[in-house]
Amino acid sequence: MRESRLGDAVNRQTKVAIIGAGPAGLMLAHLLTRAGIETVIFERHTRSYVENRIRAGILEYEVAALLRETGVGVRMDEVGFRHDGTNILFDGALHRLDFGALGKHVMLYSQHEVVRDLIAARLVAGGEIMFEAEVNAIENFNQGKPRICYRINGEAAELDCEIVAACDGFHGIGRASLPANLVREYDREYPFGWLGILAEAPPSMDELIYAHHDHGFALLSMRSASVSRLYLQCPLDADLAEWPDSRIWDELSTRLAHPGFSLTTGPIFQKNITPMRSYVAEPMQAGRLFLAGDAAHIVPPTGAKGLNAAVADAVILARAIEAEILTDDPAPLQNYTQTCLARIWKIERFSWLMTSMLHCFDDHSAFDRRIQRAELDYYVNTPTGRTSLIENYVGLPIEGV
Ligand code: FAS
Ligand code: PHB
């Protein structure tokens, strides 16, 4: 990045300005740096904050392969867990979905660990991440010479660039900067949330369990050999003060119960409630401004897709930027939205399907509940249904990888 002083604001320039040091922004910067394209990342939080933000846990097959192929998968293979299947529980019966049938697997490796690995790689490569730098405006992106206006250390500053990648999450400035008359939004909010816990308790299974129970959904996951990660469906207005450890463990034991299983409990050291939402904004671009990840779309975590969709957008955007800058081919960038949406809507469908199949809905009729059972039976107990569930869960192919 080159610096020059214009009046009070330091006027800096670079090729690609990336807003956000989450999975999308960090992966985009990582891929572009490997292609020799200059980037700067703006991140409003501190490094410590983003490296300790607990979120997703599952990496799709191709995302895990991408980390390995681009030199940031070593720790994942050292401390992560390879999972060759997952489990769906309903009517007290456990059904295992064997990913090996498709020759694939997923990795259980926390999002904040991926973020740590990508930040470390960027700093080793000499890439710049401006932490505690809040972008407050994106100018001229429709006039071909975008300018980032940001504040850092209490000072206003600007950066001119050729492309802006808004990887700034659902509440970022990128989507808000698109012309309002251009954006079409598709939105569904679910009438429940997930109460998520981290506990000092060895995982009670070596793979995940997605449980459908008359009391509500439950998910058994893990973070290490001594830390369990579990979730249970709860009302949107649930008050954590009314959920002491004992009640949480009792409810999880009920919802996860099946022959030969016992839930190992332990001190809960983190509790939170996450709302559930499906959302897509179209298009994902305007002029030289491009959205990637949660900036453009979010999914309920039932399908373990949020992090993986963000990385997939970054791969598609990186390939498109490389095509324009390195081979003077503008078409992939012009078609960025179309390429991403073809995959995103399949991810939205799968995440909606897993959420609709596995959760309890207060407004469900007796007919609705029988249809739900039929859906579970079809996707778990028929070869075509099972294959469909597995290929979506381990991850659809990412164009450009
Ligand atoms: P991110 O939100 O990760 O990153 C955006 C970054 O941009 C942030 O660091 C933010 O500080 C920065 N930023 C925003 N505005 C800025 C500005 N103006 N200037 C500078 N920086 C700015 N997904 C799953 O698959 N499984 C899960 O279990 C799961 N659990 C989740 C729990 C919670 C509470 C949340 C919020 C999400 C969860 N997700 C889960 C989804 C999550 O993993 C996202 O899909 C993923 O973080 C998306 O990555 P990014 O698009 O990079 O956005
Ligand atoms: C997690 O381990 O946090 C996790 C795993 C699978 C999901 C959602 C969350 O579908």
> What whole-number distance in Å separates Cα of residue 272 and Cα of residue 198?
9
Mean pLDDT along residues 346-366 = 98
pLDDT of residue 399: 78
Closest atom of ligand 2 to CA, residue 354: 10
Mean pLDDT along residues 338-367 = 97
Specify the residue with its C-alpha closest to ligand 1, atom 24.
Answer: 56
Specify the residue with its C-alpha closest to ligand 2, atom 2.
Answer: 57
Mean pLDDT along residues 374-390 = 97
Structure tokens at 253: 């034991």
Nearest to 228 by CA among 185, 196, 191, 275: 196
> Looking at domain 2-81+107-186+277-359, which CATH architecture does it have?
3-Layer(bba) Sandwich (3.50)
Closest atom of ligand 2 to CA, residue 304: 10
Quote the mean pLDDT of the chain. Answer: 95
pTM of the model: 0.96
Q: Is the pLDDT of residue 4 over 80?
A: no
**Strand order of the sheet with strand 268-282?**
93-98, 85-90, 209-212, 218-222, 228-234, 184-199, 268-282, 297-298
Specify the residue with its C-alpha closest to ligand 1, atom 26.
Answer: 56
pLDDT of residue 7: 41
High-pLDDT (> 90) share of the chain, %: 95
pLDDT of residue 144: 86
Closest atom of ligand 2 to CA, residue 55: 3
Contact 285 CB / ligand 2 (< 6 Å): no
Contact 203 CB / ligand 2 (< 6 Å): no
pLDDT of residue 127: 94
Q: Is the pLDDT of residue 392 over 80?
A: yes
Residue 271: in which H helix or E strand, if any? strand 268-282
pLDDT of residue 344: 98
Q: Which residues are catalytic?
A: 83, 210, 301, 305, 393
Q: Is the pLDDT of residue 401 over 90?
A: no
- Residue 397 DSSP class: P
High-pLDDT (> 70) share of the chain, %: 97
The per-residue pLDDT for range 161-186, each reduced to its tens digit, is 999 999 999 999 999 999 999 999 99
- Classify each residue of 369-386 as buried b or exposed e, where b means 16 or more C-beta atoms within 10 Å of its C-beta: eeebeebbeebbeeeeeb
Pocket test of ligand 2: the residue of 53, 55, 58, 212 to mutate, having most ligand atoms within 8 Å of its CB, is 58
The per-residue pLDDT for range 69-107, each reduced to its tens digit, is 999 999 999 999 999 999 999 999 999 999 998 999 999
The per-residue pLDDT for range 18-40, each reduced to its tens digit, is 999 999 999 999 999 999 999 99
CA–centroid distance, residue 54 to ligand 1 (Å): 10
CB 53 within 8 A of CB 77: no
